Amino acid sequence: MNEFTIGDVRVHRVEEMLGPAAPAKDFFREYSEEEFKRHEHWLAPNFYDPGSGKLVTSVHSWLVRTGRHLVLIDCCSGNHKPRPGMARYDMLNTAYLDRLKASGATPEDIDYVMCTHLHVDHVGWNTRLASGRWVPTFPNAKYIFSRQEHDFWCDMAKEEATQQALKNVYNDSVLPVVETGRAVLFEDTYGLDDCLTVLPAPGHTPGHVRIDLKSQDQSAVFCGDVLHSPLQIVLPHWNSVFCSNPGQAAQTRRDVLSHCAETDALLMPIHFGIPYVAHIRSVTSGFEMDFTRTHR
């Protein structure tokens, strides 16, 4: 399912890629083979591929129609972007913009781009290559970035020791947006259309945010990389190896799961495999997910 209705708001999933990514043992910082095997039966095949031993992950955006604006949440990896050492994202040539059009929007239609953080697979389509230059893909949009997140990666891009691919991510997918004056840098929170609220959700990166949606009596949380896999719902202390502050990331994860359980908010990550979203329940042991209910 790629379309969801939250109150008066329509949300469409725009896919860039879906398939086996990294071995579970290499992806989770706290990986335990014994613990993982206890969950293999429900992870496969949508979230784990036993044949390759790899987690199945999606990279997608959320296109949100608020009634007043078209909002794109997280911009995947982008085409033609040099990412040395990052094979999954290096020099891609996907049909992402065609899929965006099939969802009912052109780049010119987008009013706001909201990035939960500035990692390679969340900012790539911020820009596109035109006549040898990186220009904003969404020419009429305001790009909403956490100032803390922006400043962290801006500084990292200037450090000689920073991996070249990470420098490229900022220089080709963030800096051109800033230089053209399309970036809006906010300090703590940001609100849009009385139904979208951006809140701090640090740990995966220093300035990572979540985006809460509330319309009528329904709600959702676009959680970015607070969670990468449904396994982290039942094992919220498991972090990805990419979490910059594991302790903080785990606490943020529990906070988001608690919020979803208490408010019946639909959890809408960027990397879950089919069915992509989940409702959360609090149980004695922690949390569990329900993939059978969605807002339609």
Residue 296 resides in a domain:
no
Can you tell me the mean pLDDT for 19-42?
Answer: 96
202: domain range?
3-290
Tokens 């904003």 found at: 136
- 293 pLDDT tier (thresholds 50, 70, 90): low
Would you say residue 294 has pLDDT above 90? no
Residue 228 in domain = yes
Each residue of 229-261: pLDDT tens digit? 999 999 999 999 999 999 999 999 999 999 999
In a domain, 186, yes or no: yes
201 vs 294 pLDDT, higher one: 201
- Is the pLDDT at 296 greater than 50? The verdict is no
Provide the whole-model pTM: 0.96
Q: With CA atoms as reference, report the closest residue to 279 among 230, 210, 206, 208.
A: 230
**In a domain? residue 223:** yes
DSSP for 44-108 reads TTTTEETTTTEEEEEEEEEEEE-SS-EEEE-----SS---TT-TTTTT----HHHHHHHTT--GG
d(CA 268, CA 227): 10
Q: Tell me how many domains the chain contains.
A: 1
CATH number of the domain at 244, please.
3.60.15.10
**pLDDT score for 292:** 72
State pLDDT tens for residues 12-27. 999 999 999 999 999 9
With vertex at residue 215, the alpha carbon angle to CA 210 and CA 217, rounded to the nearest 5 degrees, is 110
Asked if residue 76 belongs to a domain, the reply is yes
Name the DSSP class of 28. B
Least confident of 103-112, 149-158, 286-295: 286-295
Radius of gyration of the CA atoms of the chain, in A: 18
Q: Do strands 133-136 and 127-130 pair parallel, antiparallel, or not at all (unpaired)?
A: antiparallel
Mean pLDDT of 164-172: 98
Q: Is 181 left (phi over 0), alpha (psi -120 to 50) or beta?
A: left
Contact present, 275 and 294 (Cβ < 8 Å): yes
d(CA 50, CA 82): 30
| Cα distance between residue 277 and residue 2, in whole Å | 10
Residue 183 has pLDDT above 60, yes or no: yes
| Any domain includes 101 | yes
- Examine the pLDDT at 1 and tell me if it is beyond 80: no
The whole-angstrom separation of Cα 17 and Cα 273 is: 10
Query: Nearest Cα to 21, choosing from 73, 64, 77, 99?
Result: 77
Asked if the structure places residue 199 within a domain, the reply is yes
Whole-number pLDDT of residue 159: 97
Asked if residue 295 is part of any domain, the answer here is no
Candidates 231, 236, 230; CA nearest to 249 is: 236
- The mean pLDDT value of the chain amounts to 96
